[in-house]
Structure 1
Amino acid sequence: MEIKVLGTGCKKCTEVDKLVREVLAEINIPANVEKVEDFAQIAQYGVMLTPGLVINGKVKVTGKVPSKADIKKMIEEEK
């Protein structure tokens, strides 16, 4: 599973990264988690508001911090 957290390093972007890693540890699903901070790469996903969350190439969240429950549901849908 490939997960990308899109954002320029702001507080909300850091929070999404932390929540994703916590959820993965709780549900014991292996994944490669990458923080993407380059705006050109972020724009390639069509994301104009950060933070963004991309799971297996699909944009799942833009412009907000999802709850842990929402993140868990998104990850489980993609496994």
Structure 2
Amino acid sequence: MIKARVTVTLKNGVLDPQGKAIEGALDALGFSSVGSVRQGKVFDLEIEGADRAKAESDLNAMCEKLLANTVIEDYTVSVT
């Protein structure tokens, strides 16, 4: 079994209203040293019956087709 983590974040230049809301909330809680916040999402997956190369290929296809909106989001795949 291959374990993988996919991290999806907004591309630089894309407005992140949720990140701004978190930034404001942290400031209101007294964490004024936080300069900016960008939020994203993480997917932990277990791939069965595949070698590392096939798993990486499949994970990239999953990101391109479903897990990330590649118009406004970037993703990284980490396989262990």
Question: TM over 0.5, yes or no?
Answer: no
Q: TM-score with structure 1 length normalisation? A: 0.29
Of Structure 1 and Structure 2, the greater helix share is in 1
Whose radius of gyration is greater, 1 or 2?
A: 2
Q: TM-score with structure 2 length normalisation? A: 0.28
Of Structure 1 and Structure 2, the greater strand share is in 2
Structure with the greater relative contact order (CA < 8 A, sep ≥ 6): 1 or 2?
Answer: 2
